[in-house]
Amino acid sequence: MHTFFNELKQGSQALGLQLSEEALNLLLKYQDALVLWNKAYNLTAIRDPKEMLVKHLLDSLSILKDLPQGRLLDIGTGGGMPGMIIALCQPERECVLLDSNGKKIRFLKQFIADLKLKNVIAVQTRVENEDSINELGQFDVITSRAFASLTDFVDASKPYMHDSSIIASMKGLIPEEEVALLKAQFSCDIIELNVPRLDEQRHLLLLKRI
C-alpha cells in the first residue's frame, strides 16, 4: 500500500467524498509522477510530497462535490490541477487540460499515455488561440486554479462557452469587487471550501450567464 493511501482516503472522506480504491491509487500514481518529473522540469514550486497531498490533491478534490456535470475544460492547468485530478476521479467525464507551457503539457501527455487514460487530453496552446477555440469547441464546465484575476478568467472562458456553460473558479479569498463588476452578465454562487489540514481560506465561485 502507498505511504499516503490512508491519509488521502481520510482527507477525501473529510471532504464528503467516497472515492474508490482505484481512484485513490490513481491519484497517488499521479502525485508520484509529479514528484518525479518535478525534479527535472520544475512543474510546481511545492516539492514535499506530504505538502503536495494537501495543497494539490486535497485542494483540487475539494471542488468535486459541487462541480456541475458535463464536458470540462481546465484553463492554465499547469501540472494538471484541478483538471487531471477531476479526470482521474470521474472517468465518465470528458476533460481537456489546456496550458501554453510545453514542459507541463509533455508531463501530462506522458502520464495520460502511461496510464492509457481515455477521458482526458492535454493541449499545448494559448487560451486565446482561435484555431484552438474552433478545434476544441464548447464546454459545459470551465475551471481554473491559475488565474489571479477573475475577470481575466471569465474573458478567457467566453469563447469556449455555450448558453448554459458554468465557470468554476477556484479562489482563496472572495474577490468581492470583481464579482460585483461581473454581476450584470453573470450570476455567482460562492461555496466555502474546507480543505483538511490547510489553514487558508478557499472558495469555489460558480458563474453562469444571466
Output the known binding site for S-adenosyl-L-methionine. Answer: 76, 81, 127-128, 145
Residue positions forming the annotated binding site: 76, 81, 127-128, 145
Could you tell me if 92 and 18 are in contact, meaning their C-beta atoms sit under 8 angstroms apart?
A: no
Residue with cell string 514528484: 35
CA-only gyration radius of the chain, Å: 16
Secondary structure in 3-state letters for the chain: CCCCHHHHHHHHHHCCCCCCHHHHHHHHHHHHHHHHHHHHHCCCCCCCHHHHHHHHHHHHHCCHHHCCCCCEEEECCCCCCCHHHHHHHCCCCCEEEEECCHHHHHHHHHHHHHHCCCCEEEEECCCCCHHHHHHHCCEEEEEECCCCCHHHHHHHHHHHEEEEEEEEEEECCCCHHHHHHHCCCEEEEEEEECCCCCCCCEEEEEEEEC
User: Distance (Å, rounded) from C-alpha 63 to C-alpha 165?
Assistant: 17
